[in-house]
Amino acid sequence: MRLLLYEWCCSGGLSGPDATVLASASASGEEIESLTREGRAMFLAVLQDGCRAADLELHALVDEARAMVLPAGVQPHPVAAGAERAALVAAARDCDAVLVIAPETGGILADRVAAARATGTDVIAPGPRFIALAADKQATIQALAAAGLPVPAGRTLAVEDHWPTAFHRPAVGKRLDGVGCDGLIWVGVDEPWPPPAGVPLRIEAAAVGMPVGVACLTGSGWITPLPPMRQQFSPDHPRSYIGGEPIECEHLARRAVHVATQSVAALERAAGEQARGWLGVDMILGPREDGRQDRVLEINPRLTTSFLGHVTASDASLLARIVSPQANPPRATPKPCRFTLPDHAIA
């Protein structure tokens, strides 16, 4: 199978017109650089993992301005500045399948998946309704709440709207279609309300507990959760995500897996279509052992950085499982490895 790998940051997105969409969502260049590091780490990890699958012929779109050394055997496709979307379409036509890794921000993920699908090539991603629902944080929360899943109390704020003075603190504000921690706003108990934002936000009561991510492999109606991982954040910058580690407590792991699978199923029902490929479910596991303080935060309809921890522990290609689940049926998944994103060290 000729498989095309596309990662927005590495495949020319940062050299194209859509780079301004992501920049406007972020508070600083440091956050853009953080997202770039995450994207590069995922891109290289997926390519290296794919080289373990004998039946995959790997092709990769690579930004000419951001040269990188690819694993041996990967066929590079250089992308000129401003030509990233056109290059994706052209390369997709010559491949059997495409894996798209891109931010939801500004509709970038949905657009690139749709562009690749328009060529008639198989795209390993959820359908358009699922992506649209998952990319909208408020719509996701409403769908989960309607299904009885635990979510943080919150509401939307339109562009330039002021935060309600009586809103619960501590509070969190996030762009409706944001990705990662870009532009994340934290309001402490005694801190003043932030000024109005230039983009629509979802604001919510900050959940207390352990931040956890659960990756799920999906397709043809099945949902296979991988072992959950505790998310790690920088001690110097609490809103800066730097990696993950396995959850040692089996009770907490079971709680996380149950919430994740129920959440994906609920979003499938709300979207009216089944998911496909890798999904990431972010949540907070609260201090109560009965799980009544657990809260689901969002569902990412694409590959997430937890891939780095799972792929290190896997004795077979995870990419092969994502692309061809029928030929690579689920097996006992080992506990993931602790991982740190490049240029970071967990204290």
The string of DSSP codes covering 269-305 is HHHTS---EEEEEEEEE-S-TTSTT-EEEEEESS--T
Query: In terms of Cα–Cα distance, which of 8, 42, 22 is closest to 115?
Result: 8
Start-to-end C-alpha separation, the chain: 42
Give the pTM. 0.94
Query: Which residue is it, tokens 């500045």?
Result: 81
Q: In the Cβ-directed half-sphere of 89, how many Cα atoms lie within 13 Å?
A: 10
Expressed in percent and rounded to 5, the helix, strand and coil fractions of the chain are: 30, 25, 45
Q: How far apart are CA 333 and CA 108, in angstroms?
A: 32
Answer CATH for 2-124 from 2.30.110.10, 3.90.226.10, 3.40.190.10, 3.40.50.11770? 3.40.50.11770
Beta-strand (E) ranges in the chain?
2-7, 57-63, 75-79, 97-101, 122-123, 154-157, 171-175, 185-187, 201-205, 210-219, 222-225, 229-233, 241-246, 277-285, 295-300, 339-340
Please give the chain's pLDDT, 347 residues, in tens: 999 999 999 999 999 988 887 655 544 556 667 778 899 999 999 999 999 999 999 999 999 998 899 999 999 999 999 999 999 999 999 999 999 999 999 999 999 999 999 999 999 999 999 999 999 999 999 999 999 999 999 999 999 999 999 999 999 999 999 887 677 899 999 999 999 999 999 999 999 999 999 999 998 888 999 999 999 988 776 667 889 999 999 999 999 999 999 999 999 999 999 999 999 999 999 999 999 999 999 999 999 999 999 999 998 999 999 998 766 555 667 899 999 988 754 43
Assign domain 132-149+207-340 to a CATH class.
alpha beta
Q: How far apart are CA 307 and CA 342, in angstroms?
A: 14
Phi, psi for 164 (deg, rounded to 5): -65, 130
Burial of residue 225 (CB within 10 Å: 0-12, 13-18, 19+) is buried
Q: How far apart are CA 94 and CA 28, in angstroms?
A: 38
Q: What is the dihedral of CA 90, 94, 98, 101, to 10 degrees?
A: -30
Task: Please report, for the chain, the start and end positions of each structural domain, with discontinuous segments joined by +.
Answer: 2-124, 132-149+207-340, 153-206
